[in-house]
A and B are shown apart, each in its own frame.
Chain A
Amino acid sequence: VQLVESGGGLVQPGGSLRLSCGASEFTFSDWYMSWIRQAPGKGLEWISYMDGSGTYIYYADSVKGRFTISRDNAKKSLFLLMSSLRAEDTAVYYCAGTSSRGFDYWGRGTLVTVSS
């Protein structure tokens, strides 16, 4: 199983960014998928997940109304559209294959820096 995030970079406060996560060796459509982030030197924070069909979509309060999760099962890709970005959104963003066990599979992460 391989998950590869992309799309991170430097963005100004108030700006937007779209992250992508590509999956391989993975029955992508069968899996719930999550985004989890980790601020520099800090712990882990779950921010969103969705099931394979889009029936269940949930967000952490810290990003609700600003971030949107989506997926394209045909392309085995997960996305995170981030808007109204703040300095406190600076973090490494991981995508993770999610089940009732927890976060089974993780990508290596992509760094998002929000700064002027």
Chain B
Amino acid sequence: EIVLTQSPATLSLSPGERATLSCRASQSVNSYLAWYQQKPGQAPRLLIYDASNRATGIPARFSGSGSGTDFTLTINSLEPEDFAVYYCQQRSNWPPKVFTFGQGTRLEIK
């Protein structure tokens, strides 16, 4: 079973700053890595798929990079609405037998 480890657990930044969130897989997931944003009381929202592709309607300040085992979500010039919890998620070749999520990174206002 592939384990995803996200770091840091909590990231404290100010609006306008750049956020860099990490997701590391216990073994290669190729580029089958997605990122989600979840705000309190809401369902998660797909941000990035296949490591670096923005989902429909996602602002350009969100970008993803990486392949294999190391992935990064970067949020440039943080907006107040970006403070939330972020999860990475992996799958194997389609259709997969399992999906797994990382434990999440909480992005909070400093």
Report A's interface with B, CB cutoff 8 A: 32, 34, 43-46, 49, 51, 56, 58, 60, 94, 100-104, 106-109
**Given A45-B101, A102-B34, A109-B43, 18 extra CB contacts under 8 A:** A32-B95, A34-B99, A44-B36, A46-B98, A46-B100, A51-B95, A58-B95, A58-B98, A101-B34, A101-B50, A101-B53, A102-B91, A103-B44, A103-B46, A103-B89, A104-B46, A104-B55, A108-B43
A70 to B83, CA, bound (A): 36
**With contact pairs A102-B34, A106-B45 given, residues A44 and B55 touching in the complex (Cβ less than 8 Å):** no
**Shortest distance in angstroms between B84's beta carbon and chain A's nearest beta carbon?**
13
Contacts of B91 in A (CB 8 A): 100, 102
CB closest chain-B residue, reference A34? B99
- Are A101 and B46 interface neighbours, CB within 8 A? yes
Contact of A107 among B43, B94, B104 (CB under 8 A): B43
How distant is B53 from chain A, measured CB to nearest CB, in Å? 8
Q: Are the CB atoms of B101 and A43 closer together than 8 Å?
A: yes
B87 located at the interface, meaning its Cβ lies under 8 Å from any Cβ of chain A in the complex: yes
A107 to B99, CA, bound (A): 18
20 residue pairs A–B, Cβ–Cβ below 8 Å: A32-B95, A43-B102, A44-B87, A44-B89, A45-B101, A46-B99, A46-B101, A56-B95, A58-B96, A58-B97, A101-B34, A101-B53, A103-B44, A103-B89, A104-B55, A106-B43, A106-B44, A106-B45, A107-B43, A108-B42
Minimum distance in angstroms from A84 CB to a CB of chain B:
21
Chain B minimum-CB-distance residue to A94: B43
Contact status of A101 and B49, CB under 8 A, knowing A45-B101, A51-B95: yes
CB distance from A47 to the nearest CB of B (A): 9
Q: Nearest Cβ in chain B — how far from A94, in angstroms?
A: 6
**Distance between Cα atoms of A43 and B9 in the complex (Å):** 12
Q: Which residues of A contact B95 (CB under 8 A)?
A: 32, 51, 56, 58
Q: A55 vs B69: C-alpha distance in the bound complex, in angstroms?
A: 30
- Chain A hits for B55, CB < 8 A: 101, 104
Contacts of A51 in B (CB 8 A): 95
| Chain A residues positioned under 8 Å from B97 (CB to CB) | 58
